[in-house]
A and B are shown apart, each in its own frame.
Chain A
């Protein structure tokens, strides 16, 4: 039983990390909270569902369309955020909360309130290793999540652009003095964040039911993992994702599936209670 928890914990956790990456990057670079994160994820899922259902497009080819949709919304959001006044963190929460309501209602209008799932037939078959069972769905989720996380890690650690992004995350004023276009880095963060959400969305639609208000859970888990990790640390983000994945899988086994939603919320409140001064103050 516990090997099942282990496997589903790592799979879920890796996917959660992928879900959180876009949120963490946008927050780290621009110091704004995007509460519409989950809604964007669900939107990307719906775009993939729609293409798959009406045109029979295979899952792999739905990613570009999903990314396009999240890119458009994210860049609009970036334009709106750039007009906000201080305090940025608080005002960005209110504004993106409004966007979340807009998106929820837009999705209700276009896709109705019915529960949708992208059913890939092969995802339910799987491999047996002694007592361990791995479905192809889990394998795909794990492989794609780790691949994208790996690519982002490479981008952040080994390219000039990544260095500039990391410098902006660590200290915006110093980065600006060093000649980095901090505003441009903000736009870039939203663009990369949108691509990450667009990659995660169709996968989300394969493992979770899509409905217009499904986004809140995803937003909460992205916030939880980001606050666990602080900013700019991809390795800690993975650790946070895995802990959340294990905790949720454990809760499902011990208490039942209906208590799963509580795990992320309790973890977030505990983290905040332990570190009330927020994230940026830590290094002082």
Chain B
């Protein structure tokens, strides 16, 4: 069905596949220089980078073919854990941010117990319902979480001291920006290694043909659980960073549908089965939303996300980056092997 690609087209694709991310990285590294006098631009891109890490983390599970509509559970759990530990016990955010990830993974283990036997649509529905559990508990456990009042005055992101050099990541927007960019790059490297490891290959095999994967000896349930835990861990860390960045939390905000929907939308629009796609979609769509649609439509500008996901699932189910990189992935169903 697909037109046969000529060699030159393929070469161009290869070049795009390398040039675009490198160019993007250079632009991101230099962005504070371009936008030195504009706090708003820095804030938007800091948030876009944070959403990119969210999409990358979501896709650790997404690459196995599962669609989660419940990642807000991990995001909120990470945010609340880190916020409460640093607020009430005065622990440094350096320690509480990873602990946020650990608690999120713990919640994922409980979710896995109930939901991992489910496939496809039923897994998605169960995760959608699961978010309500930590949300309602956080909302009602006033003694611990201050309930629906939320948390204010969270400590900012930690500062880094290297000898005499003091890198302030909470006071200055540039510092926050580079902190999130650094975390994003670390996560990108980890996800790349993960996707190329045996675990990554196993997850992709499960996605393509679960029965066949099981037949060649892949322990499907074990790998699915592992990918859920890893995905939740990094989602929790992103949630924790979010809390220390905006320094204000509320159950309805961090457990809201928004943080479940956003990573799913970015991952599918960008390309669920690619490494970079989800992050690229976040870095393009969020600024477009903030710079173009937000000023035009202060109420309702997020219709953009609904529109792009509908268009993507109808016309480009493998995502924009996935379409560009087609042929670089072993795909049994389409029969193309590179």
Binding site for B on A (CB under 8 A): 33, 35, 80, 83-85, 87, 89-95, 97-106, 108-109, 112-113, 213, 216, 220, 223-224, 227, 256, 258-259, 261-262, 264-266, 268-270, 272-273, 276, 278
Interface CB pairs A-B, < 8 A, 9: A80-B314, A95-B313, A216-B257, A223-B125, A265-B129, A265-B136, A268-B129, A272-B126, A278-B121
Our count of residue pairs bridging A and B at CB distance below 8 angstroms stands at 136
Which of B48-56, B98-106, B237-245, B293-301 participates in binding chain A?
A: B293-301
Q: Which of A87, A98, A227, A262 touches B133 (beta carbons < 8 Å)?
A: A262
CB distance from A116 to the nearest CB of B (A): 15
Complex contact B132–A102 (CB within 8 A): no
User: Judging by beta carbons under 8 Å apart, are B299 and A108 in contact?
Assistant: yes
Rounded to whole angstroms, the CA-CA distance of A108 and B71 in the bound complex is: 24
Bound state CA distance, A259 and B147, in angstroms?
12
CA distance A99 to B314 in the complex (A): 12
18 more A-B residue pairs beyond the given contacts A103-B306, A266-B133, A276-B122, with a C-beta to C-beta distance below 8 A: A85-B317, A89-B121, A92-B121, A98-B265, A101-B305, A102-B307, A105-B300, A105-B303, A112-B299, A113-B299, A213-B257, A220-B128, A223-B129, A259-B136, A269-B126, A273-B114, A273-B126, A276-B118
| Binary contact track B93-129/A, C-beta < 8 Å → 1, others 0 | 0000000000000000000001101111110111011
Complex contact A93–B67 (CB within 8 A):
yes
Q: B140 an interface residue at 8 Å Cβ cutoff?
A: yes
7 shortest interchain CB distances as A-B pairs: A101-B306, A109-B300, A102-B306, A265-B132, A89-B121, A105-B303, A98-B309
Bound CA–CA A272/B70 (angstroms): 15
A97: contacting residue among B126, B261, B314, B317, CB under 8 A: B261
- A98 near B306 (CB under 8 angstroms)? yes
Main DSSP-derived SS at the B contact region: helix
CB of B268 within 8 A of chain A? yes
Q: Does B139 contact A (CB under 8 A)?
A: yes
Within 8 A of A (CB), among B26-63: none
Return chain A residues, CB-CB under 8 Å to B118: 272-273, 276
CA distance A105 to B293 in the complex (A): 12
- Residues of B within 8 Å of A213, CB to CB, are 256-257
Chain B residue contacts of A85, Cβ below 8 A: 317
Residue from A84, A109, A112, A261 in contact with B136 in the complex, judged by beta carbons closer than 8 Å: A261
Looking at chain B, what size class is its interface with the partner chain?
A: 35 or more
Name the B residues within 8 Å of A269 (CB-CB): 114-115, 126, 129-130
B302 interfacial by beta-carbon distance below 8 Å: yes
Question: Does B69 touch A at the CB level, under 8 Å?
Answer: yes
Please tell me if the beta carbons of B310 and A99 are within 8 angstroms of each other in the complex. yes
Cα distance A269–B310 in the bound complex, in angstroms: 27
> Residues of A contacting B129 with CB < 8 Å?
220, 223-224, 264-265, 268-269
* A235-B136 Cα distance, complex, nearest whole Å: 31
Please measure, in the bound complex, the distance between the C-alpha atom of A128 and the C-alpha atom of B112, giving whole angstroms.
Answer: 49
Residues of chain B within 8 A (CB-CB) of A273 are: 114-115, 117-118, 126
User: Which of B67, B125, B132, B257 touches A94 (beta carbons < 8 Å)?
Assistant: B67
Residues of B within 8 A of A33 (CB): 121, 125
Query: In chain A, what residue has the closest Cβ to B307?
Result: A102
> Which of B115, B132, B135, B309 contacts A272, CB < 8 Å?
B115
Q: How far is the CA of A106 from the CA of B314 in the complex (A)?
A: 21
CA distance A266 to B264 in the complex (A): 23
B261 and A83 within 8 A (CB): no
Name the residue of chain B whose CB is nearest to the CB of A103.
B306
Residue of A nearest to B126 (CB): A272
Query: Which residues of chain B have C-beta atoms less than 8 A from A35's C-beta?
Result: 128
> How far apart are the CA atoms of A241 and B318 in the complex, in Å?
39
Within the assembled complex, what's the spacing in Å between the Cα atoms of A109 and B300? Answer: 5
A97 to B268 alpha-carbon distance, docked (Å): 13
Complex partner residue of B313 from A94, A112, A220, A224, CB under 8 angstroms = A94
A235 CA / B96 CA spacing, docked (Å) = 52
Q: Do A265 and B133 contact each other (CB < 8 Å), given the known contacts A90-B124, A113-B299, A272-B125?
A: yes
Nearest Cβ on chain A to B146's Cβ, whole angstroms:
14
| Residue contact B261 to A101, C-beta cutoff 8 Å | yes
Contact A102 B299 (CB under 8 A): no
Residue contact B314 to A95, C-beta cutoff 8 Å: yes
Residues of A within 8 Å of B119, CB to CB, are 276, 278
Using A93-B124, A105-B300 as known contacts, say yes or no to A261 and B305 having CB atoms under 8 A apart. no
In Å, the complex CA distance between A109 and B118 comes to 37
Q: How far is the CA of A278 from the CA of B130 in the complex (A)?
A: 17
Report B-chain residues with C-beta under 8 Å of the C-beta of A104.
Answer: 302, 306
B136 touches A262 (CB 8 A): yes
Q: Which residues of A contact B124 (CB under 8 A)?
A: 90, 93
Q: Nearest residue in A to B303 (C-beta to C-beta)?
A: A105
Known contacts A97-B261, A100-B306, A102-B307: A258-B299 contact under CB 8 Å = no
**CB atoms of B299 and A109 under 8 A apart:** yes
